[in-house]
Amino acid sequence: MSLHDAEPSDQADAVATATAVEAAPAISSRERYRGLLWLVAAAFFMQSLDSTVVNTAVPAMAEALKETPLGMRSALTSYVLTLAILIPTSPWLCDRFGTRRVFGGAIVLFGVGSLLCGVSQTLPQLVAARVLQGVGGAALMPVGRYVLVRSIDKREFVGAMSTVATFGLLGSVLGPLLGGALVEYTTWRLIFLVNVPVAIAGMWMNRRDMPEYRLERANRFDLVGFLLFAIASALLLAASELAGADPVPWSEMAACSGIALLLGVVYVWHSRRTAYPVADLSLLRVRSVWVALAGGLFTRLGISGMFLLLVLFLQVGCGWSPLAAGLMMVPQALGSIAAKWAVNRALVHFGYRRLLLGNTLMVALLLAAFALFGQGTPGWLIAVFTFAYGAFAGLQYTVMNTLIYNDLDIKHASMASSMASTVQYLAMSFGIALSTLLMQALLRGHEPHDFVVAFRWTVVLLAVVTAAASRVFGQLRENRQPEALAATP
């Protein structure tokens, strides 16, 4: 059986369908592991809430820490980059120390990091605390997904994962609203501190409901490959930070970029000579794998910073309150939720190639259309556009996440999942950096009108980057769709 025989409605579904056992249990596995479902759902909710709640508070955080709003990008990118760097370690940690200890440790680190974020007095302190948050967050979703794959019968997994994903999407809906309300009526510090009681409850649930999966003898961890990848990624982010300095230290930026590129070349050489690499680059020989990774990279470079840009446009450029700006983020999340229901039918009807080609261009077109917005644009019109943008972007994410498994054998599913998650968060980190750097470069003053003009040109340039991904998806063969999916009613 290959992953071509599976029904991947999202990234986790594809892995589960390929690895679950064939026989249906006498007792519903969802009933047996109800506590586990709530635990993983709470973790997904906490992480998705934290990912969206911060965007609305950026202007208030910048004012409190005596920074410019665009200068706060390191507080966002550091968290996402930490996720990208550490996610590949999750499978080995589970094999070596067991899922209960790894998941519990992740909750503790995320909670402590949240607490430190809430009491930070300077931007460097906040960045360090966000890194600690990322260390914990890097294991929450991969380990939670892995445990569900091992515990829930395949006939019930799609429904179970849909339940968990719904809580994640609920966090993305409530995040902007909660962030705006807390900033407007209390303090931005509470957007981090609310995670602390959730983390405490999660620790209790982890001890009670998390099953213990581990190997008696784990494979050797590729420490050299991990360090090469981690240092190269950190240097690239450092180069992007230096690009935003005034004046730009070109020699230092070139040195960081050059060393990062050299380390990347060394990793390619190293990965071919180790039995268990952090990222198995041989999988790139499969067309659907490299197209999914490369297309996802370009797409996320273009659209990952849109949440932050829209908040800055509404709050700084148009003078909206944090709560009003947060409310305007909700339609985007609702659009993403609505798109989930259309993924299966769209894939059956169009197949991967045509759907990704058309949808990528549609996302780029909607992204460019935001350039038509100004200080006098009615709120209802912005809401309609953000809903449509969220729907097409959500469809794009889900389809990209399932494509990577389409032609892979079961034994490669875990590595493919790790590589997909790493590229996803790495692209998000650099996408946020790219969007803020473009807006900073196009900003000609500090008046509200200047932010509006910079926003318009930035979204147009990001739309061009997003549209470039369609060239990558064009490399797919026609009618690439899972056979099992085509039979879905």
Nearest to 229 by CA among 423, 392, 382: 423
Question: Which residue has better confidence, 480 or 414?
Answer: 414
pLDDT at 387 over 60: yes
pLDDT in the model for residue 479: 57
Answer positive or negative: Cα dihedral of 317, 318, 319, 320: negative
Domain identity same for 265 and 316: no
CATH of the domain at 294: 1.20.1250.20
- For residue 69 the two structure tokens come to 């709003």
Domain identity same for 231 and 266: yes
Domain identity same for 203 and 244: no
pLDDT in the model for residue 249: 82
CA distance 76 to 197: 23
Question: Which residue has better confidence, 170 or 23?
Answer: 170
Answer positive or negative: Cα dihedral of 451, 456, 461, 467: positive
Question: Which residue has better confidence, 372 or 221?
Answer: 372
pLDDT in the model for residue 159: 67
Domain identity same for 255 and 293: no
Per-range mean pLDDT, top range of 11-25, 310-324, 329-343: 310-324
Q: List residues bridging with 2 in a β-sheet.
A: 409
pLDDT band at 366 (very low <50, low <70, confident <90, very high): very high
Domain identity same for 178 and 195: yes
Domain identity same for 61 and 204: yes
pLDDT at 266 over 90: yes
Nearest to 342 by CA among 14, 41, 10: 10
Query: Does some domain include residue 464?
Result: yes
Domain identity same for 339 and 311: yes
pLDDT in the model for residue 466: 93
Q: DSSP letters of 40-80?
A: HHHHHHHHHHHHHHHHHHHHHHHHHTT--SGGGHHHHHHHH
How many Å from the N-terminal Cα to the C-terminal Cα in the chain?
A: 22
How confident is the model over 344-365, as pLDDT tens digits?
788 888 888 889 999 999 999 9
Query: Does some domain include residue 364?
Result: yes
Helix ranges restricted to H, 186-214: 190-193, 195-209
Question: Which residue has better confidence, 230 or 20?
Answer: 230
Residue 218 phi, psi (nearest 5): -75, 155
Q: Percentage of the chain surpassing pLDDT 90?
A: 20
Residue 482 phi, psi (nearest 5): -65, 140
DSSP character at residue 216: S
Q: How many structural domains are present in the chain?
A: 2
pLDDT at 446 over 90: no
CA distance 86 to 301: 20
Domain holding 250, by residue range, is 222-275
pLDDT in the model for residue 392: 93
Query: Does some domain include residue 195?
Result: yes
Domain identity same for 299 and 263: no
- How many CA within 13 A on the CB side of residue 246? 5
Residues 6+ apart with CB under 8 A from 54: 61, 75, 76, 179, 191
Query: Does some domain include residue 217?
Result: no
CA distance 260 to 256: 6
Domain identity same for 251 and 352: no
Domain identity same for 266 and 299: no
Contact 99, 147 (CB under 8 A): yes
How confident is the model over 59-107, as pLDDT tens digits?
889 888 988 888 888 888 888 888 888 888 887 888 888 888 999 999 9
Quick one: residue 319, left, alpha or beta (phi over 0 = left, psi -120 to 50 = alpha)? left
**Length of the chain in terms of residues written:** 489
pLDDT at 489 over 80: no
pLDDT band at 25 (very low <50, low <70, confident <90, very high): very low
Domain identity same for 403 and 426: yes
pLDDT at 14 over 70: no
Whole-number mean pLDDT of the chain?
82
The crossing angle, in degrees rounded to 10, of helices 413-442 and 287-303 is 30
pLDDT at 369 over 90: yes
Nearest to 432 by CA among 308, 316, 299: 308
Query: Does some domain include residue 256?
Result: yes
Contact 55, 311 (CB under 8 A): yes
Report the pLDDT averaged over residues 42-68.
83
Domain identity same for 237 and 385: no
